[in-house]
């Protein structure tokens, strides 16, 4: 995904199965995540959903049952045009984003050497960079323009969402918890440096050229 703002998170999900009563004309609004699709398909074809499978089946919701909907979804981005690691949690009301680098705050979606779009926020994208934490009230500010992370009145919301996001990162064993994520080229470069056997031992690389975890 290009961004963790709602235009980057939202995707249309259209499902139709007349034999089960899923016809056109119904529109469901509860929060769902792409990780819910796999367990939904497994249950639909009668395959047990393993404990290691993330997400929850959407079958009860699609069948019209009253269910406890998700109260939040999580999302992540690490690379797109460049290294720009972000993680976020979104509830019905709020969105919290944590930025792990001070990359430019606006990534041009046209992916062109000459930008074809210019954002209204920030006013000067060439000099604007990510804040550490972003917090948005999606009910009052659906376009995510006003960062409330520094607002004392929102401190309890900020701390609560930070705790939920951290717990999700621990549960999913997010590699960002252990440091920056390097590209495959970085690992290959280290291997090339020690391939002759004459190069002094590098931190993170064994003498035989194998890169340590």
152-188 pLDDT, tens digit per residue, is 999 999 999 999 999 999 999 999 999 988 888 888 9
Q: In percent, how much of the chain has pLDDT > 70?
A: 80
Q: Which of 32-36, 158-162, 206-210 has the lowest mean pLDDT?
A: 206-210
Which pLDDT score is estimated for 89?
Answer: 97
Between CA 133 and CA 124 the distance in angstroms is 20
| CATH number of 73-178, picked from 3.40.630.30, 1.10.940.10, 3.30.360.10, 3.30.1120.10 | 3.30.1120.10
pTM comes to: 0.78
Residues 61 and 30 sit within 8 Å (Cβ to Cβ): yes
* Helix or strand run (H / E) with residue 158: helix 155-171
Nearest-5° angle of CA 52, CA 57, CA 58? 160
Between CA 57 and CA 54 the distance in angstroms is 10
For residue range 67-125, list pLDDT tens digits in order.
Answer: 777 899 999 999 887 888 999 999 999 999 999 988 777 766 565 666 666 666 666 66
Outline which parts of the chain fall under CATH 3.30.1120.10: 73-178
């Amino acid at each position: 995904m290009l961004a963790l703002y709602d235009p980057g998170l939202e995707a249309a999900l259209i499902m139709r199965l007349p034999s089960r009563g899923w016809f056109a004309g119904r529109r469901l609004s509860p929060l769902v995540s792409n990780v819910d699709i796999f367990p939904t398909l497994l249950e639909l074809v009668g395959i047990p959903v393993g404990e290691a499978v993330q997400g929850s089946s959407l079958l009860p919701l699609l069948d019209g049952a009253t269910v406890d909907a998700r109260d939040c979804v999580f999302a992540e981005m690490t690379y797109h045009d460049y290294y720009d690691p972000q993680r976020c949690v979104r509830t019905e009301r709020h969105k919290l984003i944590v930025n792990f680098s001070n990359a430019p705050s606006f990534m041009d979606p046209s992916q062109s050497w000459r930008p074809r779009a210019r954002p209204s926020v920030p006013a000067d994208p060439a000099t604007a960079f990510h804040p550490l934490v972003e917090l948005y009230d999606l009910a009052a500010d659906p376009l995510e323009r006003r960062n409330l992370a520094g607002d004392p009145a929102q401190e309890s919301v900020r701390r609560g969402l930070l705790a939920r996001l951290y717990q999700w990162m621990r549960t999913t064993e997010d590699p960002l918890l252990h440091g920056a994520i390097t590209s495959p080229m970085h690992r290959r470069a280290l291997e090339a440096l020690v391939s002759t056997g004459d190069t002094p031992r590098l931190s993170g690389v064994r003498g035989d050229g194998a890169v340590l975890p």
